[in-house]
């Protein structure tokens, strides 16, 4: 399936850039005429993944978060959030509701659960000391006709 648009953005892993990533992804989606709900879902999920890269992946250390997004003519949106931080030893355990390694620091352990509930797909590739890539996918179901043919 043909990709209609693709962006890549590298930014320093600092909390100020969580909002930047949300804004970039929502601006990227606007040509698809997303619903308010679709936009909110994607922004929330991307925000969780970017926050995780910053607070867990790099955990106060310097680093770069890489955001890549594309959408296809059938309305499938893919967003990859990638860090070269500490990685996750046990991904299945990390994805369980309420699991967190930052207990007591206002982390709920619900980040992956939130991503799963707002997106159609959440894939996690991770290796200790190599880093983590979270792939979020969502099919924007409200399209009446292929995006390429919309005015
Ligand atoms: N990018 C990442 N790098 C390293 N560890 C991560 C990353 N993302 C998530 N984790 C691990 O998975 C756990 C669960 O993540 P999440 O569900 O977002 O909950 P929370 O962020 O509240 O801890 C984190 O506590 C952390 O141990
Ligand atoms: Mg989290």
Helices vs strands, H then E, count in the chain:
4, 5
The answer, yes or no, to whether residue 126 has pLDDT greater than 60, is yes
Residue 94: strand, helix, or coil: helix
Is 116 part of the annotated catalytic residue set? no
Is 139 part of the annotated catalytic residue set? no
Element (H, E) at 17: helix 16-29
Q: Domain extents for the chain?
A: 3-149
The residue contributing the CA closest to ligand 1 atom 25 is 100
DSSP string covering 24-64:
HHHHHHGGG---HHHHHHHHHHHHHHHHHIIIIIITTS--E
* pLDDT score, position 41: 97
pLDDT single digits (tens) 22-35: 999 999 999 889 99
Query: What share of the chain in percent tops pLDDT 90?
Result: 81
* pLDDT score, position 146: 52
Q: What are the pocket residues of ligand 1 if the criterion is a CB atom closer than 6 Å to any ligand atom?
A: 48, 52-53, 56-57, 83, 85-88, 94, 99-102, 107-112, 132
- Domain 3-149: CATH class, spelled out: alpha beta
* pLDDT score, position 147: 58
Which ligand 1 atom lies nearest to the CA of residue 110?
17
Is 18 part of the annotated catalytic residue set? no
* pLDDT score, position 6: 97
* pLDDT score, position 125: 98
pLDDT single digits (tens) 50-109: 999 999 999 989 999 999 999 998 899 999 999 999 999 999 999 999 999 988 777 899
* pTM of the predicted structure, to 2 decimals: 0.94
Catalytic member of 107, 135, 139, 143? 107
């Amino acid at each position: 399936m043909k990709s209609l648009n693709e962006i890549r953005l590298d930014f320093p892993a600092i909390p100020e850039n969580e909002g930047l990533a949300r804004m970039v992804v929502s601006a990227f989606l606007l040509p698809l005429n997303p619903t308010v709900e679709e936009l909110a879902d994607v922004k929330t999920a991307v925000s969780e993944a970017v926050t995780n890269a910053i607070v867990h992946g790099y955990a106060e250390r310097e680093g770069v978060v890489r955001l890549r997004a594309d959408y296809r003519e059938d309305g499938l949106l893919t967003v990859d959030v990638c860090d070269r931080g500490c990685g996750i030893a046990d991904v299945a355990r990390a994805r369980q509701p309420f699991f967190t390694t930052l207990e007591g620091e206002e982390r709920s352990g619900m980040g992956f659960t939130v991503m799963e509930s707002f997106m159609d797909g959440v894939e996690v590739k991770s290796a200790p000391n190599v880093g983590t890539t979270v792939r979020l996918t969502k099919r924007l179901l409200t399209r009446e006709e292929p995006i390429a043919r919309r005015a």
